[in-house]
Amino acid sequence: MPAVRVSADEEDALATEDTGSYTTSSSATALGLTLSLRDTPQSVSVITRERTDDQAMSSAADALRSTTGVSLKPVDRGRNNLSVRGFEITSFQFDGVPVATGNIGIETTNTAIYDRIEVVRGATGLITGAGEPSAAINLVRKHANSDRFTGGLSAEVGSWDRRGATVDVTTPLNDAASVRARFVAGHREQDAFIDLESTTNSVIYAIVDADLGKRTLLSVGASAQRDDRDGVLWAGLPYWYSDGTRTNFGRSSTSATDWNQWDTRERTAFLTINHAFENEWSVRADVSHYRQSEESKLLWMWGVPDRETGEGMEVLPYHYLSEPKQTNVNLIARGPFEWFERKHELTAGVMYSRRKGSWSNRDAVEEMAAVGDFSEWDGSYPEPLLGERYVGSMTTLTQLGVYSAALLQVSDRFRFIGGTRVTNWQQEDDAGAWTAQAFEIEHNGVFTPYAAVIYDVGQTVSAYASYTEIFLPDTKKDRNGEYVDPREGGSYEIGLKGEFFDSTLNATAAVFFIDQNNVAVADVGFFVPGTLDPAYRTAQGVETKGYELELVGEITPNWHASLGWTQYSAKDADDQDVAVDHPRRLLKLFTKYDLQGAWNGLSIGGGVSWESAKPARDENPATGALERVGQPSYALVDLMAKYRVSEQVAVQLNVNNVLDEKYRYSSYWWGAPYTYGEPRNALLSLDYSF
């Protein structure tokens, strides 16, 4: 049954749950101002709850993989590399509060606890401070927004022995329903198409929303997620044979061992107070704590095997342990003001975050056994004896930002947005095995301006242009072990936006241009001294330019669709490609139709994801020549069908990669190791709501 909203909280009004829509009316992720998508002068995509369910998006990575402009490439079977407009995504938010991520990204989080995922493309320094000119990803949590007991149960089975279940319950805690609680729990187990691999995912989430009077809302919540992965592949499969020809292993092939493990934990706790004044102003205060932990016992394998004998691979064991934690304290105020007989909007805030983390390792204390013929590899490699644990590095990252932004209604059709942020950024590293000596990087008083204009071309279409600057201290190192210089530059975007059919269908056409200096690019063939980390060099005069098109929402009341196209180039001052590990053209399409009449209750849908080849090159081990590496262009086709048996019961079937396309991801490591994408797979789910 649909939830009954009882709170006047602005966030509650923006919730997409139970709307049945593929779009939303407004977003505050870009600037801190709650603006319609049409009035937001940057490209914004929203993956709503309805679309998450329709495409059976179990993780944030599943959602991002289907988001306009986002390129998601697994580095191996444990980590992902996310990119927009050619640059890595490093800016994440929970409910609009910026948060950093560890070695295993936030994209692995379970979507069961979120109402929607918002992606703002382009530089977002006004809210996030130091960051890439790629995108900010905001994961917006579910709230207890019902004045009666309501909820749902779901169960699923799928390919590779997948099975799972989720429960989601909301209940009032007093007679007046002014205090409400929500509880979400889910568990999933699955093997994989890759030999040896199996995973278990568990998530639990609880929140209490309390109306402290008519104008004040208190939200207190916590979540925990656990992922246990056994037999997981680290690095990838070798791309070359020693004679310079390319390998072509089966999709189930692995370089993992039967004792490989890669386990992670995520825990969050947060408190938010929203107060609305009678003059339409509101104040929001947030305190949150985010903690991750990762323990991985893995075997790194690299080399170029002989085509005939299969010999030539080398190995290195790794027993990694890391427990980063982050605390955030934020205070934001926003509201209207009058000037020259017109009503305008203003927001201002203070954001503080402190992230502290370290990682440790254990090395082998005896000579490693020979790999032998890699073509016969089955993972039964003896687990080596490891020595005492040592600390590799210890880092504390602190950021304090003060920002403000104003939307000025210059005329009936013309609006101007101006904003600024001043940031103090500091990184402190203690001495460790991979940090020769303690050091500190500090940048104070960094000024980040923002300016945009919006003009209403008609009643449903607006034209816009925006500009902001880029600042990103980089912790990548060069071939000498030195940190590369901070990145600087500007980000520009112009476009048209339209909202149609009472804002149920949104369209965007945007052209973007980014110029940067000191961009870290892979220094092919070189590593940071004393490590297996690839070395980087800085590229000057890097220019990224391209365009994006997006149409998302309801074309008719029964026809939902999302269509996105992205095309760009990224080159340095010497006209050489940079950011070469991601495709330059991306197509994302998904549509669903709810049948009527005799077929009432049945929904059918499908989608296509297509991408071009990436411009990456690597050195052939036999000839020494640089050759194009990686997957040629390919398309994946997905289908879904859902039948609502009754108002409370629905059954759904999702089939991904229907045509069983064989494709692979190449990582950024030297030697271009790769992993395969998933073959055809299916998921059958049963949902019961009450």
638 with 655: CB under 8 angstroms?
Answer: yes
130 with 473: CB under 8 angstroms?
Answer: yes
DSSP single-letter state for residue 106: G
Beta-carbon contacts of residue 301 (< 8 Å; ≥ 6 apart): 234, 235, 255, 313, 314, 315, 371
Fill in the amino acid letter for 460: T
Instruction: Tell me the C-alpha distance between 436 and 423, whole Å.
Output: 28
And the tokens for 184? 């979400």
Instruction: Tell me the C-alpha distance between 75 and 527, whole Å.
Output: 17
Instruction: Tell me the C-alpha distance between 257 and 297, whole Å.
Output: 10
pLDDT the model gives residue 10: 58
Instruction: Tell me the C-alpha distance between 161 and 477, whole Å.
Output: 42
What SS3 state is found at 341?
A: coil
10-residue mean pLDDT profile of the chain (690 residues): values are: 41 83 92 92 96 97 96 88 89 91 84 97 89 92 95 98 98 96 98 96 98 96 97 91 94 96 96 95 97 94 94 94 95 95 95 94 93 95 94 93 96 96 93 80 92 96 95 83 84 96 94 90 82 82 94 96 97 85 95 96 97 90 89 96 96 98 80 89 97
Instruction: Tell me the C-alpha distance between 337 and 343, whole Å.
Output: 6
And the tokens for 289? 């704590």
And the tokens for 149? 């007991």
Instruction: Tell me the C-alpha distance between 664 and 363, whole Å.
Output: 31
Closest CA to 65 of 558, 587, 614, 575: 587
Q: Using CA atoms in the order 548, 553, 555, 558, what is the torsion angle rounded to 10 degrees?
A: 150
Instruction: Write down the CATH number for the domain with range 188-689.
Output: 2.40.170.20
And the tokens for 5? 């909203």
Instruction: Tell me the C-alpha distance between 60 and 55, whole Å.
Output: 12
And the tokens for 400? 């304090």
And the tokens for 467? 């500009």
- Secondary element (H or E) of residue 554: strand 542-556
Q: What is the pLDDT of residues 312-362, one digit of tens each?
A: 999 999 999 999 999 999 999 999 999 999 999 999 999 999 999 999 999
Q: What are phi and psi of 191, to 5 degrees?
A: -85, -165
DSSP single-letter state for residue 580: T
Instruction: Tell me the C-alpha distance between 408 and 416, whole Å.
Output: 5
pTM: 0.93
Q: What is the pLDDT of residues 84-140, one digit of tens each?
A: 998 889 889 999 999 888 777 788 999 999 999 999 999 998 988 888 889 999 999
And the tokens for 441? 């990087």
Instruction: Tell me the C-alpha distance between 393 and 537, whole Å.
Output: 22
Beta-carbon contacts of residue 11 (< 8 Å; ≥ 6 apart): 95, 140, 143, 274
Query: Which residue reads 């059958």 in tokens?
Result: 684
Closest CA to 492 of 207, 78, 82, 121: 121
499 with 552: CB under 8 angstroms?
Answer: no
117 with 139: CB under 8 angstroms?
Answer: yes
Instruction: Tell me the C-alpha distance between 117 and 102, whole Å.
Output: 19
Distances in whole angstroms, Cα of residue 679 to Cα of each of 64, 590, 604:
19, 19, 22
